[in-house]
């Protein structure tokens, strides 16, 4: 069935990118489910293939609300042909207070790190190096960034403040999308609907009544750790398939 778009834009974290599915390739292959990489069986490909539309997949492990917003505006600013009006945008928001995205003068680029907590105390922070792969950073540059990250966290980062700032930016972002009549669908794993209100939630997607693909897979025991020999909480191939079908049904109902 045709929908009135020329392409579909996806943004999200590893739950969208197919986190853990690469490690499960051999397990699935033994059960006659074959794929070469996680992107082949994650829901963005399943949805875009169903509608026979090209996809722009900005999902990446460790992505939070701030990166999703930055990537969107970067995409819009480079959209010389004004294809945004012919694009369906699908956003997966998550527990972003722990997903820090900031600017580095050393790298002349944004960097990302995941902040780990125990009993409300920071016990570690991981710079996500896979974000740096498209760029020719030296190991010295990466090591210098890692040595500075703890100073930044100690000096400038507070989880509760960061969370409030993200909520404010999320409200502004969805308001912008709504005001300018972008065609978009989003799931919101961490923030409750009352954060946004009824008007801003009109494009919110609740798969099978759950908040997100991760929420759905966790509640229904369709994570990799539930079905395979891979000790990983990410959604399984089965979860991506079912989620894609539900999202397809939602898109058809909304746009045809």
125-178 tens-digit pLDDT: 777 666 665 567 777 887 888 888 888 888 888 888 888 899 899 999 999 999
The verdict on residue 204 lying in a domain is: yes
91 vs 2, more confident: 91
Mean pLDDT within 99-120: 81
Residue 216 sits in the same domain as residue 124: no
Given a cut of 90, whether residue 240 has pLDDT beyond it is yes
Given a cut of 70, whether residue 253 has pLDDT beyond it is yes
Q: Report the alpha-carbon distance of residue 2 to residue 192 in Å, rounded.
A: 32
Give the chain's mean pLDDT: 90
Mean pLDDT within 241-254: 98
Mean pLDDT within 65-72: 94
Mean pLDDT within 166-192: 92
Residue 166 sits in the same domain as residue 234: yes
* Res 112: pLDDT: 82
The verdict on residue 2 lying in a domain is: no
Question: Which CATH number do you get for residue 247?
Answer: 3.40.50.1110
Residue 75 sits in the same domain as residue 192: yes
The verdict on residue 236 lying in a domain is: yes
Question: What percentage of the chain reaches a pLDDT higher than 70?
Answer: 95
Task: Give the HSE-up count for residue 23: Cα atoms under 13 Å, Cβ half-sphere.
Answer: 13
Residue 54 sits in the same domain as residue 40: yes
Given a cut of 70, whether residue 9 has pLDDT beyond it is yes
Overall domain count for the chain: 2
pLDDT digits (tens, 9 = 90+) for 86-99: 999 999 998 777 88
Residue count (the chain): 256
Residue 95: is it exposed, middle or buried by C-beta count within 10 angstroms (0-12/13-18/19+)? Answer: middle
Residue 24 sits in the same domain as residue 80: yes
Answer with the one of 116, 143, 160 that is the final residue of a domain: 160
Residue 79 sits in the same domain as residue 180: yes
- Other C-beta atoms closer than 10 Å to the C-beta of 54 total 10
Q: Report the alpha-carbon distance of residue 242 to residue 240 in Å, rounded.
A: 6
Residue 137 sits in the same domain as residue 173: no
Residue 139 domain boundaries: 99-160
Q: Report the alpha-carbon distance of residue 230 to residue 236 in Å, rounded.
A: 10
pLDDT digits (tens, 9 = 90+) for 23-48: 999 999 999 999 999 999 999 999 99
Of 97-111, 205-219, 227-241, give the lowest mean pLDDT range: 97-111
Residue 168 sits in the same domain as residue 153: no
Q: What three-state secondary structure class fits 117?
A: strand
Residue 217 sits in the same domain as residue 105: no
Answer with the one of 109, 129, 160 that is the final residue of a domain: 160
Residue 12 sits in the same domain as residue 92: yes
């Amino acid at each position: 069935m045709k929908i009135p778009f020329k392409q579909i834009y996806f943004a999200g974290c590893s739950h969208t990118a197919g986190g853990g599915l690469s490690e499960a390739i051999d397990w699935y292959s033994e059960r006659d489910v074959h794929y070469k990489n996680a992107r082949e069986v994650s829901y963005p490909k399943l949805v875009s293939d169903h509608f026979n539309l090209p996809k722009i997949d900005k999902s990446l492990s460790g992505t939070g609300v701030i990166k999703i917003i930055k990537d969107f505006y970067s995409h819009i600013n480079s959209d010389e042909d004004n294809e945004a009006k012919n694009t369906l945008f699908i956003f997966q928001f998550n527990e972003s207070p722990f997903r820090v995205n900031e600017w580095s003068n050393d790298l002349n680029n944004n960097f990302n790190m995941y902040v780990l907590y125990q009993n409300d105390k920071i016990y570690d922070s991981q710079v996500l190096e896979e974000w740096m792969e498209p760029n020719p950073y030296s190991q010295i540059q990466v090591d210098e960034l890692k040595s500075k990250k703890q100073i930044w966290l100690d000096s400038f980062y507070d989880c509760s403040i960061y969370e409030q700032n993200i909520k404010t930016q999320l409200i502004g972002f969805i308001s912008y999308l709504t005001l300018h009549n972008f065609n978009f669908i989003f799931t919101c794993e961490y923030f409750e609907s009352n954060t946004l209100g009824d008007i801003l939630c009109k494009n919110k997607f609740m798969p099978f009544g759950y908040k997100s693909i991760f929420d759905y897979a966790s509640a229904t025991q369709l994570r990799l750790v539930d079905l395979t020999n891979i000790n990983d909480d990410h959604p399984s191939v089965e979860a991506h398939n079912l989620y894609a079908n539900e999202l397809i049904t939602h898109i058809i109902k909304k746009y045809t």
